[in-house]
Amino acid sequence: MKRILALFLCAAALTGLAGCGTRQSSAELFAMDTVMELTACGKNGEAALDASKKEITRLEALLSRTRADSEISLLNRSAGKPAAVSAEVGQLLLEARAYSAATGGAFDVTVAPVVSAWGFTADAYRVPSQAELSALLTRVDSSKIGVELTASGAQVLLGAGQSVDLGGIAKGYASDRVAAVFEDAGVTSGMISLGGNVYVRGKKPDGSAWRVAIQDPKNSSGYVGVLKLTDAFAVTSGGYQRYFEQDGKRYHHIIDPATGYPAESGLTSVTVVASANDAEGSVGGSGTMCDAFSTALFVMGAEKAVEFWRSGGYSFDLVLVTDDGRVLITDGLSDGFSQEKGAGYSYETIRKTAS
């Protein structure tokens, strides 16, 4: 009997091993104004992808600024009066407010009216006048968002004329939620790519790290380099992703909350990478954090971004691409970053302590 049991157990183990290599489920969906790719390995992969798609659809309905029935639209319509929202939206607003404070306002969800004035919300692009921008900028201040968590959800009070747009963290938050879905489903190998937001779980089925390329801002078919990642979030923000041109000048979608104009910081892209796991002495990162910081550090520019990274308040690494042809990589990534030969960039490693 013991021999039969041993034989059965070995067969089961071998079958499971083979299954991990062959059972890879993939899905694509359009949501949150982008295309999303999801891959999960293992016997629960298909179920995990179905649950992930439902979760993303739920989040879009909850957080969209352009859907009239979303909680965010409800909140924006009630500016100046308290609005009852779910605890989830309340928590996310608190998190957004914290990232705004941490970055000195370089990330700010209340920049929404300014983004709309440029036409990026409705794809109706225009260049607003300075007077219009100056008036709208008086409404931009996340610290004025009042959030009180209650037994049934949250009460949120926006300042007069304020509105919020969670587009800067919604996809990052979605990646956090999908990571939780993968965890619950027992998926140990998988990857999701939510339009510039990537989360990789474990290693690839062949045991190697996931290879995530960073697009070359100057060349849509090229890379500046490739990251080798396991259990990590990576998010890129760049001015080349969405823009319009008027009178020979290009205007991109990352608005500096301080000026109301598209940020001109000398950076062409910012990639923020964070481990999804807790390490000794630090708490693991999140997709939400990476999403917020990629926008904020793009606004700040290279010098302030590196200073922020060195301050050590949050655990993450960076790949910065500058408009003068440099790629700056923080030293936590130096072993897992492959330079792209022939891309025409010079590569520099940034250390924690300035030399």
Site string for other proteins, 9-28 (x = CB under 8 A): -xx--x--xx--x-----xx
**Toward other proteins, which CB reaches closer, 83 or 179?**
179
**Toward other proteins, which CB reaches closer, 144 or 218?**
218
* Interface with other proteins in residues 176-215 (CB under 8 A): 191, 193, 196-198, 200, 204, 210-215
Q: Which stretch binds other proteins (CB under 8 A): 34-42, 56-64, 94-102, 160-168?
A: 34-42
Closest CB 35 distance from other proteins, rounded Å: 5
Judge contact between 106 and 300, C-beta under 8 A: yes
Q: In which residue are the tokens 């404070």 written? A: 101
**Toward other proteins, which CB reaches closer, 133 or 321?**
321
Interacting residue with other proteins among 33, 141, 264, 323 (CB under 8 A): 33
Q: Dihedral sign for Cα 4, 6, 11, 13, please.
A: positive
Judge contact between 216 and 222, C-beta under 8 A: yes
Rg of the chain over all Cα atoms, to the nearest angstrom = 22
Amino acid letter, residue 291: D
Q: How far does CA 183 lie from the centroid of its chain?
A: 19
Distance between first and last Cα of the chain:
68
Closest CB 206 distance from other proteins, rounded Å: 8
Interacting residue with other proteins among 202, 238, 285, 336 (CB under 8 A): 238
* Interface with other proteins in residues 218-237 (CB under 8 A): 220-221, 223, 226, 234-236
**Toward other proteins, which CB reaches closer, 109 or 212?**
212
154 binds other proteins (CB under 8 A): no
Q: How far apart are CA 36 and CA 59, in angstroms?
A: 14
> How do beta strands 197-201 and 34-41 pair?
unpaired
Summarize the chain as % helix, strand, coil (round to 5): 35, 30, 35
142 binds other proteins (CB under 8 A): no
Q: Which helix (H) or strand (E) holds 35?
A: strand 34-41
Residue 190: CB atoms within 10 Å: 29
Closest CB 316 distance from other proteins, rounded Å: 15
- Give the footprint of other proteins on this chain (CB under 8 A): 3, 6-7, 10-11, 14, 17-18, 21, 27-30, 33-35, 37, 123, 191, 193, 196-198, 200, 204, 210-217, 220-221, 223, 226, 234-236, 238, 240-241, 269, 271
